[in-house]
Amino acid sequence: MGWEEWTVVVLVVGGRLLLPLIIPYRPLIGILACLILDSADQSIFQWFPAIPLEGYQSYDKALDIYYLSIAYMSTMRNWANACAFRMGRFLFYYRLVGDLLFELSGVRALLFIFPNTFEYFFIFYEAVRMRWDVRRMGKWTVIIATALIWIFIKLPQEWWIHIAQLDVTDFMRETLFGVSTDATWGEAIGNAPWVLVAMIAGMALLVFVAWWIITRKAPAGDHGIVLKADPLPAECRGAELYRTVRAHERIFDRALAEKAVMVALIGVIFAQILLAEDVNNVAVAAFVVVFIAVNAFVSQLMARRGRTWRSVAVELGGMALVNLVIVLSLEFAERVLRLIDTRAPLGKTLFFVFLLTVLTVLFDRYHTVFEARGMLRRGDQTATPAADPA
């Protein structure tokens, strides 16, 4: 590849790595930006024939898991509806297990059985939060919304992609515009311009229907349009967050167990995608669990000694250095003591350090916010029980 192709690859892959970091702060904008780039990146690569696409599906699936993991962890930070949070957690782990089973077996039907309903449920929740108080959503609203997304959106989409194995752009070129799959979009539109007009009219109709439902049928909005995540209570910000919860957390608790399970599942999936086909999955999972335990011990030790992080960016940078030392130490243990077989090329090892750092730092920070919110709610209920309408 020449410098132009390398520039495109770096920009696209960099975008797919960095855009998800917007999700905790601009949830709807962030998730839609990730979804759009996910849908467009293959077409962007196809504009440059010198870019090899043999491993595109593996790369695409890996980065899908990455941004959905950040979306899930952002629900710990932001979501105020407990029922919706529990549903989102179930949908995320359900798909994650399906991804793992698919990577281990290669059976594409598993992705139909374990659809990615979490992504659209996340969009639904954040779209509601944009105008309404999400705490008003009851259990049945959450369940019905999930069922509708699962049955009418995700199952047809998963069947199209993974069972029928059809490509949307190829289908549009051949069936709608009547040209070959290797024709340019300019040639396709020139062959049947009325199709483009009909598509624009259809989109305009959908926007009008959505606007009509929101303004005429939906309950009156509770506030103006909100795209930012709701502000955190003072006790859940910066150094105060550490004094409120982090320094008093136990090292070995349910949060550590969930983090170990989540990161181990993601680690094995990434190992299946990025490393050799004969990768030892048990060894990778063991490596991740040991890493998580050591990381938690170091992080907790720093918190109890008064180490606070001014921002997530500073914590990511600091813990990246700590995690690099941990990974290199575990690599030394593997090579010298032959404890765990996790050998990988340096570039992929550094990528795993990046991946593990992002996952562990965001999980720790946002689960701490989740715990702090619970402590504040329990404190409010204890102080003024009559104020709770329930």
* Mean pLDDT of the chain, nearest integer: 83
pLDDT tens, residue by residue, 247-299:
566 667 788 899 999 999 999 988 888 776 667 888 888 888 888 988 888 77
CB atoms within 10 A of CB 262: 21
Whether residue 227 contacts residue 22, with contact meaning beta carbons closer than 8 Å, is answered with: no
pLDDT tens, residue by residue, 101-132:
988 888 889 999 999 999 999 999 999 999 99
The residue ranking higher by pLDDT, 171 or 244, is 171
In whole angstroms, give the CA distance from residue 127 to residue 149: 14
Q: pLDDT class for 344, splitting at 50, 70, 90?
A: low
pLDDT tens, residue by residue, 36-76:
999 888 888 888 878 887 777 777 888 999 999 999 999 99
pTM: 0.86
pLDDT tens, residue by residue, 197-227:
999 999 999 889 888 877 777 788 888 889 9
39, two tokens: 């849908």
Tokens 């782990």 sit on residue: 93
CB atoms within 10 A of CB 14: 10
- What number is the average pLDDT over the span 235-253? 65
386, pLDDT greater than 60: no
